[in-house]
Every structure is written in C-alpha cells, then in structure tokens.
Amino acid sequence: MEVVKVNDVITEYRSYEWNGYTPLSMMVKAKNDAGTFETKAYQFITNHRGDVLSIRDSEDKEVGSYAYDAYGNILTVEGAVAKENPIRYAGYYYDDETKNYYLQARYYNPANGAFLALDTHPGDEDEPLSQNGYSYANGNPVINIDHNGEKSWKLVRKEALARAITTIVGLAIGAHGIYTAARILKTYTKKKVVKLKIVKYITKFGVYKNLAVQIAAYIVNGIINVLGSSIGGVAVWILTRYFFTTVTKYAKKYVYWGPKVKITYINFGKRK
C-alpha cells in the first residue's frame, strides 16, 4: 500500500497486484472534486521483461503508455495516469525526482546503466562481466534481467539451451544419443560428473546453486528414464514443466542475423 500526501494531507491510496516480479494491476483510491474518496482499477500491459507499456482502465480503454530504451531510460510518457504511476521499466519503482529505479536491494540509474551501490554477489569466475558489481544486467539488458538488484537473470532460447546441454552431457560421458546416455548415466560416477557440469552451466543464468542442484537431478533422472527423443529435449522439457516459465517474442532467426521469427525463451527469472 502506497499513501500519497499533499501538505501532510492524504489525497490518495495506491495498491498493486503482482505475479512474481511482473506487475499486473493497480488500484487507486483518490479524492475527487467533491472531496470524497473514489476507487478506480487499472490493468498493466507488460512485455516479456515486465516493462509497463500501457495502462488500461476498467473499460479496457488506454489511459497511459510508456516507451523506454534498452536500459530503461524513459523516452515517452503519455497520459496523466501514466505520469503519476511509479511502476514502470521491468516493473521497477521509478523515483521521478532522482530519475532512478528502486530495485529493493539497490537503486539503479538508467542514464549510465549502473547501480549506485556495489552488488553483494561477487560474480562468477568464468563470466568476467558478472564481476562488475555496479553494471546493470551484466551490461546486456536485452538478454539479462535483474529483478531485485542482487543478481541478473537471463532469457535463453530453448533450442540453444537444448543444444548446450546435449553437448555438456555428451562430452562428459562420451555419448550423445539419448538411449546410450541413459544406460551410461545409471553408473554413480558418471551421474555425479554430469550433475556437477549441469549445475555449473545453469548457475550462469542467475539460478542459485541449491536450485541448480535440484534441476540437475531432475534432468539426469529424466535422461535415465528416457522422457524425450534427445538429451537437450529432456532438459528443456523438465525446465519448462517444473521450474521456469517461457516467453515468445520476435528475434533474429540465427541470433545475430537472418529474418525475424517467433522464438521461445526460457525465463530463468520467473519461477512457476
């Protein structure tokens, strides 16, 4: 609940509904011209990252809209409701006076793409960009998501993830076929090695280690029980079935080039 005061007099109450880190709606109880409180409900229209793009009233009429650049700098604000609403880029709370976003753990300045305080997480040894404790989303806000200022998460293409895990498992056990892998992974030693390698890979996307250990166990057990036609296919199926949500958006077919096509990503920042 947010309370708005003017000259120490309460003029407005605001409350918000969330789905994880994604804002869904806003209730505003404000004084009308007669001096009595009136309640209005608004719906947030967001994209895959959680940016509030449009605000619609109870009659589904657009009463406000925003446009941002990749780092969250506000390009346009349309409508009185949009100007008053503080929930904006990536669902963050926007401070209109300082032009910073509040991410719970730290404040973020979109003008220079950096936080105002150092991240408590030291970063990953094999990912140098994550070791800069001030940079936002490891310097890549198009792919990475930083929900609360503590550690960035990533959107990863499903097919790329499937290929990567197939390669990881194949190199670890010397076999890429699902049925051969299922047989080899029944040995304790190989199972342990593969789990450790999957944990190391999954944590690169912002997944905490204890959760990554659980995911690795599911993936290995899924391969052993042959739940799919490929190693990577099993891994992706398990990730989207039990752990994370997906988002579909238009992107380059071959990552950096080719026509724009619909691509499905796993959102490692949004649990089921």
Residue 269: what pLDDT?
72
Q: Is 114 helix (H, G, I), strand (E, B) or coil?
A: strand
Question: pLDDT by residue (tens digit) across 144-194?
Answer: 788 877 666 677 778 888 888 888 888 888 877 888 888 888 888 889 999
DSSP state, residue 137: G
Is the torsion defined by CA of 236, 241, 243, 247 positive or negative? positive
C-alpha span between 246 and 256 (Å, rounded): 21
Task: Report the alpha-carbon angle 135-95-115, nearest 5.
Answer: 10
Nearest to residue 86, comparing CAs of 178, 23, 147?
Answer: 23
Task: Quick: pLDDT tens for 107-157.
Answer: 999 999 999 998 776 666 656 666 778 889 888 888 778 887 766 667 777
Stretch 17-40: mean pLDDT, rounded?
Answer: 89
Burial class of residue 90 (count of CB atoms within 10 Å of its CB; 0-12, 13-18, 19+): buried
And the tokens for 259? 């026509």
130 SS3 class? helix
User: 254: pLDDT confidence band, cut at 50, 70 and 90?
Assistant: low
User: Can you give the pLDDT at residue 205?
Assistant: 80
The chain-wide mean pLDDT, for the chain, equals 86
Q: Which amino acid is at 97?
A: E
Question: Can you give the pLDDT at residue 168?
Answer: 87
Expressed in angstroms, the distance from the first to the final Cα of the chain is 25
Q: What does the block give as tokens for 52?
A: 């509030």
Give the pLDDT score at 262: 84
